[in-house]
Structure 1
Amino acid sequence: MQTIGLVGGMSWESTAVYYRDLNLGVQQRLGGLSSPKLVLSTVDFAELTALEDAERWPQIGDLLTAAARGVEQGGADFLLLCTTSFHKVADQIEAGVGIALLHLGDVVAEEVRSQGVTKVGFVGTTVAMSDGFFAERLARHGVETVMPDARHHEMLNSAIYDELVHGRVVDATRRRVLGVLEELWDAGVGGVLLGCTELELLVKQADAELPVYPCTTLHVNAALDRALAGAVSRR
């Protein structure tokens, strides 16, 4: 079993989902008392969001690269960022470590392409929706991304930062987000990416008529595939 490196804290709710699902995944796949080998470094979310508000992305990259080097030094074989938005500096982080970064965009693109989908909607933070970094990564794999109308960005960002990162799941917000998903469906997408870990606390496949892709779940499963290649079940 390989050791998975996690850079978390963006938010702690997001990191908790990664930690929980990696453990559940190993338990389901191997049975017995099996659990994943993990090295985790978390950052101060308040510090990062202040830098984000000031658009000081090189400094954000420096902080996350330092955290990534910590998990590398702790014995990680490969690296995951427990976030979508801060993949904006993924190239900087990858260049600063000697282990592979399992990029969320690559994982998601592979999954949707495997289902014959080449046009997806995306909901997430304002940064992830308005900046082209994630859509550009998907485009490398032949996947077109449609973002929600700009009038929805503030609501979606508020749902994440004012509610979900604090563990608040509000039914009225769910209904508003589902309305955005319906608009994207009408725009001709083959499914919608939940492009923020916390959104998976709010929206499930059972809530929507169109295909919904939970990016964190896909990221976790890809990490388990890589870490457990050749591992023997203890059931």
Structure 2
Amino acid sequence: MKTIGLIGGMSWESSAVYYRDLNLGAESREGGLTSAKIAMTSVNFAEVTALQEQEDWDSVAEILSTAGRAVEAAGADFLLLCTTTFHRVAEQVQESIDIPVLHLADVIAEACKAHRLESVALIGTTFAMSRTFFTDRIASHGLNVVVPDEADHEWLNTIIYEELVHGKVLDASRRKVVKLIEDLWDQGAGGVILGCTELELLVKQTDVEVPIFPGTTLHVKAALDAALS
């Protein structure tokens, strides 16, 4: 079994899901007392978020690159960033280490293509929806990627940052997000990407008829495929 490298802390709720699901997946696949081999470091979410808001991406890249080098030194064979938003500096992190970064956007794109989709919607943080660093990477796989109208960004961002990252999962928020997913389907999206780990705490495939693509779940599956190959 290869060792999976993780950079977490963005948020810790997200990182806990990655750690739990990687170990559950390893046990399910291999049986017995099997657990995943993981080398993990966790950054301060408040620090990197403040730098994001200042558009100081060089400093964010340095923090995550330092974390990546530490994970590599701990024996990781490849690296996952347990976040969507901070994939903004994934290329800089990759340049700073000698092990491959398993890029979340590539994993999601392959899953969408496996469902023979041509158009897919992304929901996530305001930053991920309003910038193109993540959607462009998905689109490079031949997919048309759309995001919700700007009027929907603020309330969705509030649910993520003021509720979900603190472990608050509210039915009222679930209903609002489900309605948004259904609206995107009506507008022509063949599926909807949950482009933020915390959204997977709120919405499940059983909540909607629209095909959804939970980024973290797909990322974990790809990591286990790589680790156990």
TM-score when normalising by structure 2 = 0.99
- Provide the residue aligned with 2:146 in structure 1: 146
SS of the residue corresponding to residue 162 of structure 2 reads helix
Q: Which amino acid aligns with 2:10?
A: M
- Separation in 2 of the partners of 1:191 and 1:204? 13
- Separation in 1 of the partners of 2:152 and 2:168? 20
- Provide the residue aligned with 1:56 in structure 2: 56
Instruction: For residues 109-158 of structure 1, give each alpha carbon's deviation from its aligned partner in whole angstroms, at most 9, with x where no partner exists.
Output: 11110110121011000110000011110111001111001001001111
- Match runs of 1:192-231 below 5 Å: 192-229=192-229
Instruction: For residues 144-186 of structure 1, give each alpha carbon's deviation from its aligned partner in whole angstroms, at most 9, with x where no partner exists.
Output: 1110010010011111100000000011111111111112111
- Separation in 1 of the partners of 2:118 and 2:74? 38
- Provide the residue aligned with 2:160 in structure 1: 160
- Separation in 2 of the partners of 1:91 and 1:157? 25
Instruction: For residues 47-87 of structure 1, give each alpha carbon's deviation from its aligned partner in whole angstroms, at most 9, with x where no partner exists.
Output: 01111111111111110010010000000000000001110
Aligned-pair identity (%): 58
Are residues 1:14 and 2:14 paired? Answer: yes
SS of the residue corresponding to residue 172 of structure 1 reads helix
- Provide the residue aligned with 1:136 in structure 2: 136
- Provide the residue aligned with 1:90 in structure 2: 90
SS of the residue corresponding to residue 102 of structure 1 reads coil
Q: Which amino acid aligns with 2:201?
A: L
Q: Which amino acid aligns with 1:45?
A: F
- Separation in 1 of the partners of 2:170 and 2:117? 30
SS of the residue corresponding to residue 59 of structure 2 reads helix
- Provide the residue aligned with 2:80 in structure 1: 80
Can you give the 5+ residue segments of structure 2 that lack an aligned partner in the other structure? none
Q: Which amino acid aligns with 2:224?
A: L
SS of the residue corresponding to residue 197 of structure 2 reads coil
Aligned residues: 229
Give the 4+ runs in structure 1 shifted more than 4 A. Answer: none
CA RMSD of aligned residues (A): 0.6
